[in-house]
Amino acid sequence: MKLGVLKESLTEETRVSITPDIVKKFVSEGYTCLVESQAGASSQFSDDDYRESGAEVKDHNSVISESDVLFQINPFNEDDFNQLKKGQVLISQMYHLSNPEYVKKLSEKGVTAFSLDAMPRITRAQDMDVLSSQNNLAGYKAVIVGANEITRIFPLMMTAAGTITPSKVLIFGVGVAGLQAIATAKRLGAVVEATDIRPETKEQTESLGGKFIYVEPDEGEVSEGGYAKEASEDYKRRQKEAVEASLFKADLVITTAMIPGRKAPVLISAEQVAKMKKGAVIIDLAGNTGGNCELSEPNATVVKHGVKIVGTTMAPYSVATNASDLFAKNIYNFVKLLATSKEGFKWDLEDEITDATLIIKEGEIRK
């Protein structure tokens, strides 16, 4: 089976789906790996690195036409659809819930497609979960960028000139990104508070040294498949009241709340931003999906009411070497689940992971 690695087509994307180390593993198991020239350049992996790992480095069109399986991080470029062959297998993040037209066009090519962002949040799938591996980096990077943007230092510091009190950090959403943000901010010496709709995150927050701001959710709205669900208007009102005392005192606010396939929930209103401390910074990791802050702009930094708001999905792009390494390991583990051997894939639709991620099977849309 020939595995093809394509260079990402998005201008801002710096990651690559498969790294030389993972190529070496695939080759040792009998697969043939075709890698598009310069696919890993922005992640600091050269074409020679791939050749030394056993890959064949080729041009874009050759990788598409010769591969049985194609890997990419982001949805495939629709300009390439005419080159796809019936029976090919495509593996990437496809965001199928919010891109039905894309899925329909892809199905018309008779391919099979797996969407990595549909990976179920179960223990057995943890080492294949690209959202978790990338969000973990996002939480870390959000704190580092926030520390650079605020005009204060994080830790308590006692000097001959006087004592500097620690910065206050507030985190919305205690998922993978939020937990890493809590841990990183605490290591840097900040006073950290966090809030989430899921009650089980209270213990997780406190285990990392953060204070948890808890608002009792309405029945049935806690979580779905490991993700927070869209909260009711009543819950949003009560949460707003509970967190405002901390929000208005915070030096750095990090928001991480996203709902797969839907616009990000607004957690910080324009009215609340106007009441925040002058010089405070909001790092909105949901900036590209609508933003958790009402005033966020995608991939842009704006200043409103004296508050700097960074709307971003910065982490994977800015730490591309680590992000690519983790993503590639996720894919490798996923392929090991799917493949009966180097000859082809099995279609065990009784398997929860296969069933959840298999979006198109031989041209038929399943999800």
Residues belonging to the active site: 121, 126, 129, 132, 227
Length reported for the chain? 367
CB 273 within 8 A of CB 309: yes
Calculate Rg over the CA atoms of the chain: 22
For tokens 């089976």, what's the residue?
A: 1
CB 214 within 8 A of CB 202: yes
Amino acid (1-letter code) at residue 276: M
Cβ burial, residue 310 (10 Å; 0-12/13-18/19+): buried
In whole angstroms, what is the distance from residue 278 CA to residue 126 CA? Answer: 41
Amino acid (1-letter code) at residue 39: A
Of 127, 117, 114, the closest CA to residue 70 belongs to 114
State whether residue 163 is helix, strand or coil.
strand
Tokens in use for 86?
């019936």
> Which region, left, alpha or beta, applies to residue 290 given φ > 0 means left and ψ of -120 to 50 means alpha?
left
CB 117 within 8 A of CB 313: no
Query: How close are the terminal C-alpha atoms of the chain, in Å?
Result: 26
For tokens 């179960």, what's the residue?
A: 122
In whole angstroms, what is the distance from residue 205 CA to residue 224 CA? Answer: 20
In whole angstroms, what is the distance from residue 127 CA to residue 326 CA? Answer: 9
Query: For residue 271, how many other CB atoms are within 10 A of its CB?
Result: 10
In whole angstroms, what is the distance from residue 131 CA to residue 125 CA? Answer: 11
Of 204, 201, 227, 223, the closest CA to residue 214 belongs to 201
